[in-house]
Structure 1
Amino acid sequence: MEHLTSFLAALGEPEIEDAEEESFLLFSQDIPSANLGFVDSRATTIDLTIHDQDYTIHQSPTLLSSSRAGGTTGAVLWKITPLIAEWLSNTTSTTNNPNPLWTHTLLTPTSTIVELGCGISALNALALAPKIAHYIATDQDYVYRLFRQNLEANAHTHTHTPQTRSGGSGRQREKGHGKGHGKKGKGSTLQSGAGPGQGQGQRQGNIIFTSLDWELDVAGSLKEGVGISTSTSVSDGEGREGDKGFDLILSCDCIYNDALVAPLVRTCADLCRLRPVYKEGEGAGEGRKPTVCVIAQQQRSPEVFEAWLRETMRVFRVWRVSDEMLGEKLRLGSGYLVHLLLLK
């Protein structure tokens, strides 16, 4: 775990000890107005560039403005998503301030990432999947059609062909104004010609879309449920089971609603429990690395933020990523926040 220890030492910010103090510090500053945080809620397509790579993102203003039960905000692209995609995909192969998760080998070409509440854009998946082994994007079923369309429209940007596997079915869980996270439903194969719930499909690549209910689904079976082998070639003489865990859990702008706080935190914790807990002073050894959670969000309500932080600190150690690591676009005062979590 020495790589994680060196990463934490380089974070540039101390571990957060007081949720109220952190909230006051962050929200007592001037925050730029970003409205609700949409890039353009009226456009059906949005063109953008990340690391000299052009993307065209399809979205649905009609769905956004509909009365669909459970929220529709996952139907459009949010401003923070391209910034996080750019930050996380800045590997050691680039020349301008590579992301420390890569330089400290917490992310490697063999990594598996899970995104909670991915929305329709598929932008984080498109930017990161070519650099890792597996990218699992999760959300409600309604985002699937546009998620698939965006993968296909930007197929030239990645070398892997996307795949998804079936999940299950269940009723809507989200309450209030939300992005549409936390519904259990049938997964959808991204194989050409198939639609939601039409079978598991043939494995075609390393981008996987599946629905995930933050309240009902069993996190421990996520990897196997999407068809990723949990066997391991590492032997420690103790008969360890295969690795069911993940290197990184990513949540991008999912915190804006009190009703979502507890289920989101619980899901993050359940996923992180599939890997060892970080213990300072332990060497690298042959053990698996703890799971790192990256929680990115736009500053909106100090009450909701503090509620999330209080709930999070019950089960996680929390650090705010420093301006030096984040760069100009995500630094304090930009209206965006990035926190790193490690299970206690």
Structure 2
Amino acid sequence: MASPSPPPSTPIPKCPNDLFHFDDQCVLVEDADEEIMELYMSLASTSPETTKLAIDDDSGGLGFLNSNESILEITIDLTSPPPFNVPVNGGSVNLKERGQKKKPPQNRSVDNVVVRVQQDLGMLKSQKGDTGSVLWRSSLHLSTQLLRQSTYPTSYPRPIFNSDILGKSSILELGSGTGLLAVLLSRLCGRYTSSDRLENLKLVKKNCEINGIVIEDGSVLVSNIEKDKGKENRLSKVKSSENRPGHGHSKMTTIPEIRPKVVLEEIDWIAISQERKSHPERWSSSLAEENPKYDLILAVDCIYNEYLVQPLIDTLAKYCKRGKGGGNIVWVVVELRSSDVLTLFLEKWLTDPSGPWTIVRLSEKLMGHWDDKKARWVGWVGWR
């Protein structure tokens, strides 16, 4: 008697608003314990050198890029990859070394993007647990992946986003922190809203200003950026060379004449969670009427403290509308740190009374690597 064939894998449902591309390596998440076990088993299979990445480059231990400098000048490498990003010996094919001519990218020729990020180290040290005042690795790696896919679409036949839909989409970011994602991703979408507590939004506003991003009228904080056309845009495209940006052979040009706008909105997860607990009926009835339409609710590295898990779940439920075709979706990106905290988050998300939620884990191929190393993160897309 032949042995029974393994049960077929659960098919991945289509993204309801077609914003995300799901490939055949994406996974439908149905059990929190199984999902977290699979993620950490995969992480444990990496080399010790790669696993150490999470604590090598910062003193905070949670995921800070650099918690010692007040101002970071970051160069994001956007060198055009070869078609389909074919790996060779752990890296990318270098067509120049092989004697082949490298075809210029369509529409744009951008190798680097330089952005300045101001951090508030005083807030980090004086307010225990206030980690939004410094830049986290996940935000930088996510920005890099999305910018690469947007800049060189022919090299990424299966990108994370449908670029046509993204260009018209409205994004709400929860827990914006320093505002790096607002600075970089606001250029890719139709409308970008950064949200956080009021004290953190001041840092987002400052970083938008020094990088040439306009704060839209009607935001919590009004922009005082000069609208002089001759003012230099701090977020610059840098033509690559063998020299570092700023050296004699590097050519610097400014990014588009039309500067993108960012909306600032104060959103306090704790207050939302308390409202849901104290007045559940009123909270539920107000969801469809009071909230503006966002196509995507984005939360990047907001899961590190179990105390904030339920408030985040309640906030996702408040801003993610239910509905076939007309509903919006949630994208949670988090670095793999405490398995207990992530398990708790997934359990509460899957069993949230406002559901049922459909949750899909994006594949490693879609999410990308961390500087040619296996990434220590996960991206979950969810909707009701």
**Fold conserved between structures, TM > 0.5:** yes
Determine the C-alpha separation between the residues in 1 that align with 2:75 and 2:183: 12
Determine the C-alpha separation between the residues in 2 that align with 1:126 and 1:99: 24
Describe the SS at the equivalent of 1:151: helix
List gaps (5 residues or longer) in structure 2: 1-12, 45-50, 56-60, 79-111, 227-258, 274-287
Query: Which of 108, 122, 129 is equivalent to 1:62?
Result: 122
CA deviations on 1:83-139 (whole Å, 9 max, x unpaired) are: 11223344555243277343375x43221000000002x111111112222111011
CA deviations on 1:201-233 (whole Å, 9 max, x unpaired) are: xxx963011210224359xxxxxxxxxxxxxxx
For 1:209, the equivalent position in structure 2 comes to: 264
Determine the C-alpha separation between the residues in 2 that align with 1:254 and 1:342: 18
Structure 1 residues 264 and 242: alpha-carbon distance in aligned structure 2, compared to 1, 3 A threshold: closer
Q: Offset at 1:42?
A: 0.8
CA deviations on 1:283-336 (whole Å, 9 max, x unpaired) are: xxxx53x31211111111111000001111123211111011112229995221
Determine if the alignment matches structure 1 residue 257 to structure 2 residue 305. Answer: yes
Query: Which of 162, 180, 197 is equivalent to 1:103?
Result: 162
Structure 1 residues 271 and 144: alpha-carbon distance in aligned structure 2, compared to 1, 3 A threshold: closer
For 1:303, the equivalent position in structure 2 comes to: 340
Q: Offset at 1:164?
A: 5.8
The within-5 A match list for 1:1-344 is 4=16, 9-10=22-23, 12-28=25-41, 29-30=43-44, 31-32=51-52, 33-34=54-55, 35-50=61-76, 51=78, 52-66=112-126, 68=127, 71-95=129-153, 96-97=155-156, 100-103=159-162, 105=164, 107-120=165-178, 122-155=179-212, 161-163=214-216, 165=218, 187-192=220-225, 206-217=261-272, 244-273=292-321, 276-277=323-324, 288=326, 290-314=327-351, 315=355, 316-329=357-370, 333-343=374-384
Determine the C-alpha separation between the residues in 2 that align with 1:257 and 1:164: 34
Structure 1 residues 24 and 241: alpha-carbon distance in aligned structure 2, compared to 1, 3 A threshold: closer
CA contact (8 A) 1:55 1:154 kept: yes
For the pair shown, which has the larger CA radius of gyration, 1 or 2? 2
Structure 1 residues 5 and 217: alpha-carbon distance in aligned structure 2, compared to 1, 3 A threshold: closer
Moved more, 79-88 or 304-313: 79-88
Q: Offset at 1:57?
A: 0.6
Structure 1 residues 150 and 76: alpha-carbon distance in aligned structure 2, compared to 1, 3 A threshold: same
CA contact (8 A) 1:318 1:339 kept: yes
Aligned identity (percent) is 25
CA contact (8 A) 1:115 1:137 kept: yes
Q: TM-score, normalised by structure 1?
A: 0.70
Q: Offset at 1:9?
A: 4.9
**C-alpha RMSD of matched pairs (Å):** 3.1
Q: TM-score, normalised by structure 2?
A: 0.63
Structure 1 residues 331 and 313: alpha-carbon distance in aligned structure 2, compared to 1, 3 A threshold: farther
Determine the C-alpha separation between the residues in 2 that align with 1:103 and 1:133: 13
Describe the SS at the equivalent of 1:339: strand
List gaps (5 residues or longer) in structure 1: 167-186, 194-203, 219-239, 278-286
Determine the C-alpha separation between the residues in 2 that align with 1:144 and 1:248: 20
Moved more, 57-66 or 209-218: 209-218
Determine the C-alpha separation between the residues in 2 that align with 1:39 and 1:335: 14
Determine the C-alpha separation between the residues in 2 that align with 1:331 and 1:212: 36
Q: Offset at 1:49?
A: 2.3
